[in-house]
């Protein structure tokens, strides 16, 4: 089969992976994270243009933190362009280190006595994701926010990464997006999908009336199960 380079690629999503609050960079490097965490975390690091191998082997993290801060500013701006429930929040990324202390026996050259010294070594690097309330000045781990907020944030990271790929023309197929969102947040998601549709064709399934704009009923197709199989109809009167 020969695929022409200008043909669109289909991206199908039936599960939406939430980012954890803390991501082990070593586990990401070795692909030891859970499948869902691996995919979303990888998308986040690619979005920040950070090479995981370089970060693990580095002695100084200032350049990486600068990249993460630039990414957190971009994501925060994009997220709260759509998330209208609470606009006083911002995303914070930081690189944390997990250290272990090892006891080592050495001989003191001055008195020829054996002494125990402690060596501190870094055993793990961790990306810490927090959400700060700018009004209260308090931050919490991402997992402590609502499931809907975490979902929306992770969903945005996914598609920001897709938008970085200028070489491919994608058709996005989404199965039941917004299941964890309340009615207002589903409306926010629709706004995001509408803006995204300026560059991509999007087809999504839903059982939620909040995921359908009454002025856009012409875009709706109903899927009916009959004795003869599934029937796709442009009539909204069916069921």
Structure-token pair, residue 151: 């979902």
Give residues with Cβ within 8 angstroms of 11, minimum separation 6. 162, 170, 171, 172, 173
d(CA 187, CA 41): 26
The one-character DSSP state at 197 is: T
pLDDT tens, N- to C-terminus, the chain (239 residues): 455 556 778 877 766 677 888 888 888 888 877 776 777 888 888 878 888 888 878 777 788 888 888 888 888 888 888 888 888 888 888 888 776 777 777 777 777 777 776 766 766 888 889 999 988 889 999 888 888 888 888 888 888 777 777 777 888 898 888 888 889 989 999 998 998 888 889 999 998 989 988 888 888 888 888 888 888 888 877 66
Taking the C-alpha atoms of residue 213 and residue 72, their distance in angstroms, rounded to an integer, is 31
The burial of 231, by beta-carbon neighbours within 10 Å (0-12 exposed, 13-18 middle, 19 or more buried), is given as exposed
């Amino acid at each position: 089969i020969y695929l022409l380079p200008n043909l669109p690629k289909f991206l199908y999503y039936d599960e939406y992976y939430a980012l954890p609050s803390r991501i082990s960079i070593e586990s990401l490097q070795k692909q030891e994270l859970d499948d869902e965490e691996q995919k979303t975390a990888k998308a986040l690091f690619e979005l920040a243009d950070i090479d995981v191998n370089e970060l693990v082997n580095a002695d100084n993290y200032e350049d990486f933190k600068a990249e993460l801060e630039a990414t957190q500013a971009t994501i925060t701006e994009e997220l709260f362009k759509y998330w209208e429930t609470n606009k006083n929040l911002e995303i914070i990324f930081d690189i944390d280190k997990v250290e272990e202390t090892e006891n080592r026996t050495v001989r003191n050259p001055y008195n020829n006595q054996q002494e125990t010294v402690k060596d501190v070594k870094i055993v793990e690097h961790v990306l810490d994701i927090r959400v700060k309330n700018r009004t209260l000045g308090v931050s919490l781990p991402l997992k402590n926010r609502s499931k809907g907020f975490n979902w929306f944030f992770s969903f945005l990271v996914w598609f920001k990464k897709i938008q970085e790929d200028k070489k491919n023309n994608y058709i996005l197929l989404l199965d039941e997006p917004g299941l964890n969102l309340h009615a207002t947040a589903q409306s926010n998601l629709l706004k995001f999908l509408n803006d995204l549709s300026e560059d991509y064709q999007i087809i999504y399934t839903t059982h939620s009336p909040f995921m359908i704009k009454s002025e856009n009923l012409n875009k709706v197709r109903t899927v009916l199960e009959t004795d003869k199989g599934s029937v796709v109809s442009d009539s909204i009167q069916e069921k």
